[in-house]
Structure 1
Amino acid sequence: MFVKFASINRDTMLKEERFQIILNQLGHEQKVYLGHLSTLLNVSEDTVRRDIKELADQGLLKSVRGGAVPHSPGPHHFRDRMKYDNEQKQIIATKTLPFLKDGQVVIFDGGTSALLIAQMLPKDLKLTVITNSFPIASILEEHEHVDVLFAGGRLLKDSFVTIGNDCIQFFKKFRADICLLGICSIHADLGVTGPDFEESEVKRTMIESSKEVIALATTEKLGTAEAYYVCPTERLSTIITDKEPESSAFDIYRKLGISMA
């Protein structure tokens, strides 16, 4: 149900007022449409389109065909992400451990949830881990029963991962059992997306090289979108969140054949 606001005369409404109404509506509905906003704000769709573009340029939402969806919340730099939602990520990491079995080949991407999983791996678990994450490779160097294959390439300093063609070609050599995919944004219609083009290219190759893809996502990242496409949502095998998997909020993903955990 759309949130209702008092009608405001188009001649007296300030642009900043329109911006706030658009953001409030987006916060309640998780998606806004040009036609509805045009009626709600009593302005033309062209005006709404310009407002959405300006809000998108400020990084406050993601413009999509016919409207807008939220950006993923939270910081993008690795050091800042390490301190953000740590309790929720601990829950996700704990839920993920039962999916890992002796003898598996597992791709770990460079997300902070994947890093927590690496820290929590049982000392007797025997895995082959393929990663482009410097922090994860460093942690697993001390794990006696985990073989680590590290992807070279150019360092993406914001994320402490390697990117580029050498990295992509490295991941193409494998057929992993599982890919543990740290998620920036998932949207049922728009797919999995990320804020960096080259890192999104690497994630796409990780997915293509894996039988099963387990998405690691705090619930606030669901229903959001970023600029760079990674894969369709239905390519995910499982989404592991910090909430109870039975929640009706996840029905939209179950309808796509995705397991929730």
Structure 2
Amino acid sequence: MLTQQRKQLILDKLRQDGRIVAASLSESLGLSEDTIRRDLRALAAAGLLQRVHGGALPASPAAANFAARSGLEISGKQAIARAASAMVQEGQVVFIDGGTSCQQLALHLPHALRATVVTHSPTIALALVDHPLVEVLLVGGRFYKHSVVAVGAAAVEAIGRVHADLFFMGASGISASVGLSTGDMEEALVKRAMMAHAAETWVLASAEKLNAASPYVIAACNEATGLIVENGTAEKATAAFAAQGLVIVRA
């Protein structure tokens, strides 16, 4: 089998099964695991999948820039945002993460809501300008342009001084086996800090992020309270998360 044929077969298998197990694939094709791993490395370098221990998962589409991501799954993100906004109660202190799903959440918060939003995203802060009763605390740090958020030690320290009722997280990869992941190490640490200082963590899980992975792990999935998914998301896609004890809210 030619190299290009093997690579296409791997990608077809990944689309079909949602993951690649190197040992099983090498056995079924009668090829060495070294050959399969070499192909996985090449496909990962091309951004076509994300290597994980023992094989590979689909690569998260969040590698695209912020403007491009804003147009992905927009109706699904809006539905998730409406469900998330209904969770926020009067007087609560809420962490809202950066990213396009969380931007939709900020835009969908009730105009008359009285609450405090703590965020490291200027995009979220701007989305709340016309909410007169929402106090916005904007966390500073090094500006990470890809996600339009502040990261680094200064951001983590500021977050550590807050005890929030809720944290709405955006993650570029949500995998029951790998965990919650994102594309930058410092961004992952900031998200983890917000998890540690919130009573509940809800992950905004639009369809393209489920069972995908990015390079840097934020936390195991079972450290979150639950996932907010689109109403049409198949039970099969969420079963492994429910088995880990996460609450699945269908928007």
Is the contact made by 1:245 and 1:260 (CA closer than 8 Å) also made in structure 2? no
Letter in 2 for 1:206: M
Determine the structure 2 residue equivalent to 1:30: 18
CA contact (8 A) 1:107 1:180 kept: yes
Q: Which amino acid counterpart does residue 16 of structure 2 have in structure 1?
A: H
Distance 2:121 2:71 in 1: 18
* 2:105 partner letter: I
When normalised by structure 1's length, the TM-score is 0.91
The amino acid of 1:255's aligned partner reads A
1:216 aligns with 2:204: yes
Gaps of 5+ in 2: none
Q: Is 1:113 paired with 2:101?
A: yes
1:58-78 per-position Cα deviation (integer Å, ceiling 9, x unaligned): 111111221111111355311
What SS does the corresponding residue of 1:99 show, helix, strand or coil? coil
User: Equivalents in 1 of 2:148, 2:85: separation in Å?
Assistant: 23
Please give the residue correspondences for 1:180-259 in structure 2 after superposition, counting only pairs within 5 Å: 180-244=168-232, 247-259=235-247
Which residue of the partner structure matches residue 53 of structure 1? 41
- Partner residue, 1:40: 28
1:70 partner amino acid: P
Query: How far apart in 1 are the matches of 2:171 and 2:195?
Result: 12
Q: How far 1:84 moved relative to its partner?
A: 1.5
- Residue 219 of structure 1 and its aligned partner are, at CA, apart by 2.0
2:176 and 2:38 map into 1 onto residues whose CA distance is 26
Q: In 2, are the aligned partners of 1:193 and 1:231 still within 8 Å (CA)?
A: yes
Bigger radius of gyration: 1
| Residue 54 (structure 2) pairs with residue 66 (structure 1) | yes
- CA deviation digits over 1:166-212, x for unaligned, max 9? 11111011111000101211111111011111111111111111110
Scaled by the length of structure 2, the TM-score of the pair is: 0.95
Q: Which structure 1 residue ranges, 5 or more long, are not aligned?
A: 1-12
Tell me what 2:162 maps to. Answer: 174
Identity over aligned residues, as a percent? 36
Match for 1:114: what amino acid? C
Displacement of 1:214 = 0.6
Structure 2 residue 147 is the aligned partner of structure 1 residue 130: no
Q: Which amino acid aligns with 1:90?
A: Q
Of 125, 139, 144, the match for 1:156: 144
Q: 2:7 aligns with which of 16, 19, 37?
A: 19
2:75 counterpart of 1:82: no
SS at match of 1:113: helix
Structure 1: 4+ residue segments shifted above 4 A: none
Number of corresponding residues: 249
